[in-house]
Amino acid sequence: MSKSLALQWTKGVSGEAKDQLELAVRHSTVALGRFKKMLEEKLVGLESQETKSDAYENPSWAYFQADLNGSKRAYKEMIALLSFLET
């Protein structure tokens, strides 16, 4: 049984266009699977940046941390949109 797509994929799209879009997304598993993997790799890289000891030497550490948090949140949101893919 396949997992359902996140509603964001077809939000604002109706009728036949919605069906075509869902079909296209579901049949793009090779490209989207690779994209998901790339997003996960970037997320791991960001998570490793925040634990480096030299990060704390930055006088603007709070801004650096806020930027990392925002970037991590965005990557996680994109990865969640691809959660229908089998991993």
At 87, is the pLDDT very low, low, confident or very high (cuts 50, 70, 90)? Answer: low
In this model, does residue 55 exceed pLDDT 80?
A: no
Q: Which regions of 1-87 does DSSP assign to beta strands (E)?
A: none
Among 6-15, 48-57, 77-86, whose mean pLDDT is lowest? Answer: 48-57
Distances (CA, A) of 54 to 41, 46, 63: 22, 14, 15
The rounded distance, in Å, linking the Cα atoms of 67 and 26 is 32
CA angle 2, 4, 26 (to 5 degrees): 70
